[in-house]
Amino acid sequence: MSGNTVMPPEVDLWVKRKVPGVEFIADAPWPRRSSSRVWRVHLRTHSVYVKVSRNALRYQREVYAYRHAAAALGAGRAPRLLDTDPRLGVIMTSALPGSRVLGLKLRTGQERTVHSLAGGLLRRWHELERPHPAARARAIADVDEKVEAAAAHVPKITHLLSDRHRSGIERAGQVLRLLAPYLPLGFRHGDFQARNWQWDGAARALGLFDFEESGSGIAVEDFVWLAADTWPSQPHLQTACQAGYGRDFSADEARALDAYSVLAALDDLQWAHRNNDGAEIARAVTILERVSARLL
């Protein structure tokens, strides 16, 4: 066993019953998620991933998503669901070929290709299922929850916020509450960014993974971290991604995306403050400053 988080004994036993020939198990969570429990299980001929969901809702979302991913995205564009255990909250999936996009050194043309493919995959994912009758009410409730969570963050990090930031945060909530009844809905990925994309350069194929936040909601929110952190300095990647997606944002969607970016940056800022991450604090403040100016 290697890594920082030891696989729970009952999960270890379950894995070894399901996949004989385990050679070693490596801790493999995303570093920013201290509560994430993911391991790469190395077998004699291949590897699989094992994840213990953080709660029952995330487990249900991810299992549902993986069961429909091949039909929605195409074969090989998402890990295959190999096994599950609802009692343990465990999900076992195949390993995609290639490497996580975040941190890869890609040429400009390759980056454009990756972002275009990502946009195309997201469009197909958004169309996985038709919004059900309760989807709009749920989307409005989700906006209310995010706005209230943002308001709760402000007193904890008030020393990091300028008057403009506070005004931008307030305005973001107003914008989202105003637009939530009208914005297009889709089946969101929930954490659509390069850390959850897998690029197979040899096959020129892109895959998506990590679906624990997936579900029906306001479609444009899926672009929030690209819009907040990637596109401002690399507008050609926005062009590529939206070309792959197949349409531009409406004026209301663009406005909502700015508002979502403010709330996402605020959430990132409170995390960075709590974890004494100076670089992340600076990044989040920069996003808040830039996007608040557009909203006001």
Strand, coil or helix: what is 50?
A: strand
pLDDT for 3: 46
Q: What domains appear along the chain, each with residue ranges and CATH number?
A: 9-94 (3.30.200.20), 99-295 (3.90.1200.10)
pLDDT for 28: 84
Q: What would the pLDDT profile of 205-238 be if each residue is shown by its tens digit?
A: 999 999 999 999 999 999 999 999 999 999 999 9
Q: What would the pLDDT profile of 4-34 be if each residue is shown by its tens digit?
A: 578 999 999 999 999 989 999 998 876 665 5
Q: Where are the alpha helices (DSSP H) in 19-55?
A: none
pLDDT for 132: 85
pLDDT top residue among 260 and 29: 260
Per the CB < 8 A criterion, the answer to whether 34 and 45 are in contact is: no
Per the CB < 8 A criterion, the answer to whether 215 and 187 are in contact is: yes
Q: Quick one: pLDDT band at residue 115, thresholds 50, 70, 90? A: very high
Q: What would the pLDDT profile of 40-84 be if each residue is shown by its tens digit?
A: 999 999 999 999 999 999 999 999 999 999 889 999 999 999 999
User: CA 261, 198, 195, 11 torsion: positive or negative?
Assistant: positive
pLDDT exceeds 60 at position 171: yes
As a whole number, mean pLDDT of residues 118-126 equals 98
Q: Where are the alpha helices (DSSP H) in 25-134?
A: 56-73, 108-126
* Structure tokens that stand for 38 in this block: 């993911």
Q: What would the pLDDT profile of 195-213 be if each residue is shown by its tens digit?
A: 999 999 999 999 999 999 9
- Long-range CB contact pairs, 102-110, < 8 A, 24+: 102/193, 102/194, 102/195, 102/197, 104/199, 106/199, 108/236, 110/201
As a whole number, mean pLDDT of residues 146-159 equals 97
**Percentage of the residues of the chain whose pLDDT score is greater than 70:** 97
Task: Compute the mean pLDDT over every residue in the chain, rounded to the nearest whole number.
Answer: 94
pLDDT for 32: 61
Beta carbons within 10 angstroms of residue 36's beta carbon: 18
- Residue 215 gets the label, from left (phi > 0), alpha (psi -120 to 50) or beta, of left
As a whole number, mean pLDDT of residues 271-282 equals 96
